[in-house]
């Protein structure tokens, strides 16, 4: 009997993940997680980036793959840092025994950062107020200052860089905190826009050093830039979606070399029905059978994260062939057209996985749903059991 690491959830905040037994009989709705793929993807991304440090992003429960599973696999593949959005996510990793360097960067300004700093978790600060709050509640904590270089999200605005760096340097001299790094994020709008952001970041680094700071970690690039842009000016990259073998470009044809999907979403045929020509299928009868055909009922739907927007557009792998989804995707189920082929109740259906097996990819589903592969894997719901591949 295998075990898999799962989030317990259900409380007022994130809880530590736990290991539970997985029976020999596969659960009805399953996401097979290939930890070796995550480790291999990290190796490929590290080789492409070439930076001394590599941060693996496991926010949002490891992009739906399981944060602890993803973190352990990434570290096995050579990651030197682990990143989360929220401090609570980082604390859950510590509680699960992940002892690697951690960075969390979406902070509540009024929080008490003492418990986070006590677990040696770096805090990504985006304002002077956050700097002051860290110094007041977690003396001596390590921070990394996030800068806005053109994305207009969190991060210190350029007009405030000088003042924030001076404040940080003063607090560092007083022993109130330690500035370990500076970082930002690219918009991936164009090569020219990314180059301008890199120039702004270089200006910020010079300004910080002029104020007396000496940050060891300088990082700007996520998966897209880490695999396409020169990283010689930086000491670390932060890779997220690439860990999981999903394209950072929203294009199934543009998956960086050496990456393979880590999640396979699968279930089994729940019912088989032969229908005559003209039969309406699922809600609103947006599709009617043009000729007699066989329909296979698949027990996955939008409650499980399967996007309704992909109705009548998506495909699945069933019986060794790609089969079209027909009619509306419902909350718990969808229908696929198998024509005159024989299928049986219990046959496995793969919604997405590794294209090398013939299955659609998460990126394919992103195209069918007018979104990106990131959203497809991250939205897979709790009814779907994560099991080892």
Catalytic residue among 59, 63, 244, 374: 59
Tokens of 143: 């921070």
Determine whether the annotation assigns residue 153 to a binding site.
yes
Integer Cα distance of 147 and 220 in angstroms: 10
Strands 334-339 and 321-326: antiparallel
Contact 328, 286 (CB under 8 A): yes
Whether 283 is catalytic: yes
Contacts of 283 (CB under 8 A, 6+ apart): 327, 328, 330
Integer Cα distance of 188 and 192 in angstroms: 9
Whether 59 is catalytic: yes
Integer Cα distance of 185 and 249 in angstroms: 15
Contact 306, 334 (CB under 8 A): yes
Tokens of 103: 């960075």
Catalytic residue among 63, 244, 283, 321: 283
Determine whether the annotation assigns residue 1 to a binding site.
no
Binding site membership: which residues?
153, 331
Binding site membership for substrate: which residues?
153, 331
Catalytic residues: 59, 283
């Amino acid at each position: 009997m295998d075990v898999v690491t799962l989030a317990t959830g259900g409380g007022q905040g994130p809880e530590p993940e736990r290991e539970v037994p997985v029976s020999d009989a596969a659960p009805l709705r399953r996401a097979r997680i290939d930890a070796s793929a995550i480790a291999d993807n990290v190796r490929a991304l590290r080789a492409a980036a070439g930076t001394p440090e590599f941060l693996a992003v496991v926010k949002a429960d490891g992009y739906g793959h399981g944060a602890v599973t993803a973190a352990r696999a990434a570290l096995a593949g050579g990651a030197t840092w682990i990143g989360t959005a929220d401090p609570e996510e980082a604390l859950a990793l510590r509680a699960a025994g992940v002892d690697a360097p951690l960075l969390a960067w979406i902070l509540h300004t009024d929080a008490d950062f003492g418990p986070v700093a006590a677990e040696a978790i770096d805090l990504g600060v985006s304002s002077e107020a956050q700097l002051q709050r860290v110094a007041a509640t977690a003396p001596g904590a390590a921070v990394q200052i996030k800068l806005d270089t053109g994305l207009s999200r969190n991060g210190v605005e350029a007009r405030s860089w000088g003042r924030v760096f001076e404040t940080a340097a003063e607090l560092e001299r007083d022993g109130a905190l330690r500035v370990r790094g500076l970082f930002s994020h690219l918009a991936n709008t164009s090569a020219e826009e990314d180059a301008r952001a890199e120039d702004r970041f270089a200006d910020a680094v010079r300004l910080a050093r002029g104020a007396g700071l000496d940050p060891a970690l300088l990082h700007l690039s996520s998966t897209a830039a880490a695999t396409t842009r020169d990283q010689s000016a930086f000491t670390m990259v932060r890779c997220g979606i690439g860990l999981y073998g999903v394209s950072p470009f929203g294009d199934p044809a543009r998956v960086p070399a050496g990456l393979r999907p880590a999640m396979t979403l699968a279930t089994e045929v729940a019912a088989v029905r032969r229908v005559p020509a003209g039969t309406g299928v699922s809600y609103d009868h947006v599709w009617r059978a043009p000729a007699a055909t066989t329909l296979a009922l698949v027990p996955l739907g939008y409650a499980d994260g399967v996007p309704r927007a992909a109705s009548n557009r998506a495909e699945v792998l069933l019986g060794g062939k790609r089969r079209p989804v027909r009619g509306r995707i419902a909350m718990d189920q969808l229908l696929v057209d198998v024509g005159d082929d024989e299928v049986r109740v219990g046959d496995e259906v793969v919604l997405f996985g590794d294209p090398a097996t013939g299955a659609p990819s998460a990126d394919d589903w992103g195209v069918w749903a007018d979104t990106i592969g990131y959203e497809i894997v991250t939205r897979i719901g709790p009814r779907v059991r994560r099991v080892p591949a």
